[in-house]
């Protein structure tokens, strides 16, 4: 780091510290943190981590951006720890956690992205943060996004009383535009793809609960699997598949055509 950059870094660090101590406005401290995204080094990690603890979303968001910018220039374990803690902190504002997720996904490898999966496990996590976590996992090339969304769709009424997470998960599954999604769900039902965070043994209806989800996500693509499952050894699966097929065919299916109107 050149002398001029070091002087600028020191000035910006003083600005962040002053905001933390009340000697400068939060807006001024946030602007100082923004400058550290450009000129900051590992010297300013501690003060930026302290800014994450300041209950002001503007300063917290700029601190996250600065920390991850520093991480890009020079790996620092403390940065990842601080940003991971912000992502998982349920007391932190959702918009700050969203920023932390987005910045985190820009600076880590997939093997370090477990906190993004952890976000999806919590029914208390706001949709804003969940959506950012899914986007981050897709960006990092995570291969089990469908499985994690299916888990989210299976939160029960105690965890998701208004069904908001389920509706969000269905929208995300549809938005994937993946014609293999019904096949993935079918494989989950039969144990060929794993759910990490839920068990069919504790759910009324068992694995049959995935049939309505499959139909909701891709009605057309689901039909060939419904025909297969109509002969499943599990009676709950057979019944759910038959009911879904009947609903997809419509109330008039199998009835004689109506007589033509009189000439």
pLDDT in tens, 28-53: 999 999 999 999 999 999 999 999 99
Residue 196 burial (C-beta neighbours within 10 Å; 0-12, 13-18, 19+): exposed
CA nearest neighbour of 86 among 61, 105, 111, 114: 61
What pLDDT is recorded for position 251?
62
What pLDDT is recorded for position 261?
43
C-alpha to C-alpha distances, 53 to 16, 37, 38, 99, 150, nearest whole angstrom: 12, 18, 21, 15, 34
Tokens 């220039």 correspond to: 73
pLDDT, tens digit only, all 263 positions of the chain: 688 889 999 999 999 999 999 999 999 999 999 999 999 999 999 999 999 999 999 999 999 999 999 999 888 888 999 999 999 999 999 999 999 999 999 999 999 999 999 999 999 999 999 999 999 999 999 999 999 999 999 998 899 999 999 999 999 999 998 889 999 999 999 889 989 888 887 888 899 999 999 999 999 999 999 999 999 999 999 999 999 999 998 765 444 334 444 44
User: What residue segments make up the domains of the chain, in order of their start?
Assistant: 1-109+129-142, 149-249
CATH number of 1-109+129-142: 1.25.10.10
């Amino acid at each position: 780091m050149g002398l001029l950059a070091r002087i600028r870094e020191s000035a910006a660090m003083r600005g962040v510290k002053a905001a933390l101590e009340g000697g400068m406005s939060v807006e001024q401290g946030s602007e100082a943190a923004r400058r550290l995204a450009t000129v900051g080094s590992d010297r300013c990690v501690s003060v930026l981590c302290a800014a994450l603890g300041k209950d002001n979303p503007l300063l917290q968001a700029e601190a996250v951006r600065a920390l991850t910018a520093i991480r890009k220039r020079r790996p620092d374990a403390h940065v990842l720890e601080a940003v991971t803690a912000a992502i998982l902190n349920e007391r932190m504002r959702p918009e700050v956690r969203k920023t932390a997720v987005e910045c985190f996904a820009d600076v880590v490898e997939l093997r370090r992205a477990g906190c993004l999966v952890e976000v999806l496990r919590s029914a208390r996590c706001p949709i804003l943060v969940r959506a950012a976590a899914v986007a981050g996992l897709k960006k990092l090339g995570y291969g089990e996004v469908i499985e994690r969304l299916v888990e989210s769709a299976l939160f029960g009424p105690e965890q998701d009383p208004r069904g908001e997470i389920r509706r969000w998960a269905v929208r995300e599954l549809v938005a994937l535009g993946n014609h293999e999604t019904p096949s993935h769900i079918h494989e989950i039902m039969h144990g060929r793809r794993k759910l990490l965070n839920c068990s069919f043994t504790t759910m009324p209806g068992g694995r049959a609960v995935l049939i309505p989800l499959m139909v909701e996500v891709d009605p057309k693509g689901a039909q060939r699997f419904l025909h297969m499952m109509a002969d499943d050894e599990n009676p709950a699966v057979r019944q759910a598949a038959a009911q879904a097929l009947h609903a997809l065919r419509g109330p008039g299916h199998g009835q004689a055509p109506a007589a033509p109107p009189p000439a």
